[in-house]
Structure 1
Amino acid sequence: MKQHRLAAAVALVGLVLAGCDSQTSVELETPAQKASYGIGLNMGKSLAQEGMDDLDSKAVAQGIEDAIGKKEQRLKDEELAEAFGFLQKRSEERMAKLNEESAKAGKTFLAENGKREGVVTTDSGLQYEVLTKADGAQPKATDVVTVHYEGKLTDGSVFDSSIQRGSPIDLPVNGVIPGWVEGLQLMHVGEKYKLYIPSELAYGEQSPTPAIPANAVLVFDLELLSIKDSAAKDAATEE
């Protein structure tokens, strides 16, 4: 977490806090009011993720009031820098602990899951089970495929789903996370697999979205619908 990011978040939350005395005084009718609420809501979630559960709302409001009123600030820049540095260090330590716990939980899940009948574990650590078997063609790393999928965390929380959107997607086999690259090449067109992807074959500590915690094991229901232009390729081969 950067100091300017924390400062900006606190300032925006402060604006919301300073602008109302209680929930009953808040009006959410106009687009500007709704957007204002959205800013406060998003920043509140961000601060909660950063571990800012001891934020002093009165101190935040006082800082906003002093700045808007062009009053002399009550703390020196050096004191503020020290405070932000403390919060940054605390946030980093908290995230490191959460990452460690997530990695440990993922290893435990995979160790138990790998014992289930029908679950196959590859040399890379990828786990899969065949839900629907078929005899179609198998894609290569250089192919583009059409798939339906639903991605979940190990607790069942859905973070992405083409199935829910009702629209399959086309993607290059070698342009996705390593767990998918390997899993897709095991599949035949028409098959449905369930993939259990270790974090090192997914996103590791660099999660692309807050919906996926760092070091998370990802579970995908994956259906291989087709290999793009595979019919044309087969016809050309026969000729």
Structure 2
Amino acid sequence: MTGPFSVNQTQVHTLRAGDGPVVSNNATVSVCYMGVNGRDGSVFDSSYQRGVPVDFPLTGVVPGFQKAIAGQKVGSTVAVAMTSADGYPEGQPRAGILPGDTLVFAIKILSAS
């Protein structure tokens, strides 16, 4: 990647479709993921680096994560490029995210309940 990457609307791509049940909008999911900042290509968060999946309710995460996971099948791997509005509109200084940054996530959906 040569320069900053940004999108003007959140885009979700299924990289590999799973064969599990469809994830509902209000499911609690277990995922592995990696997040990259489109502005500079830096990895700002990775459950892979920590070596453990992350569990959370879809109702308690940024809209871009919800859009990426809800409606997918368990076992799927998805990529999402989310606008700042669907990520951290005010930025997230701890993670080096500035207002306006496009965020790109690769997400593997392990389970949903």
TM-score tier (shorter): 0.7 to 0.9
What is the aligned length?
109
* Identity percentage of aligned residues: 35
- 1:201 aligns to 2:98 (yes or no): no
In the TM superposition, what is the alpha-carbon distance from 1:197 to its structure 2 partner?
0.4
Tell me the TM-score normalised to structure 2 length.
0.86
Offset from partner CA, 1:187-225 (integer Å, 9 cap, x none): 110000110000011111242525112211000000100
Q: 1:193 to 1:210 in 2, by over 3 A?
A: closer
Tell me the TM-score normalised to structure 1 length.
0.43
RCO higher in structure (CA 8 A, sep ≥6): 2
CA–CA separation in structure 1 for the residues paired with 2:25 and 2:93 = 23
The CA RMSD over aligned residues, in Å, is 1.7
Written as runs of structure 1 = structure 2, the 5 A alignment for 1:9-28 is none
CA–CA separation in structure 2 for the residues paired with 1:126 and 1:161 = 20
- 1:145 aligns to 2:42 (yes or no): no
AA aligned opposite 1:224: I
Higher share of residues assigned strand: 2
Which runs of 5 or more structure 1 residues have no equivalent in the other structure?
1-104, 112-124, 229-239
CA–CA separation in structure 1 for the residues paired with 2:69 and 2:95 = 26
Paired position in structure 2 for 1:110: 7
Deviating beyond 3 angstroms after TM superposition, the runs of 4 or more aligned structure 1 residues are none
CA–CA separation in structure 2 for the residues paired with 1:208 and 1:140 = 31
Higher share of residues assigned helix: 1
CA–CA separation in structure 2 for the residues paired with 1:220 and 1:194 = 6
Written as runs of structure 1 = structure 2, the 5 A alignment for 1:25-36 is none
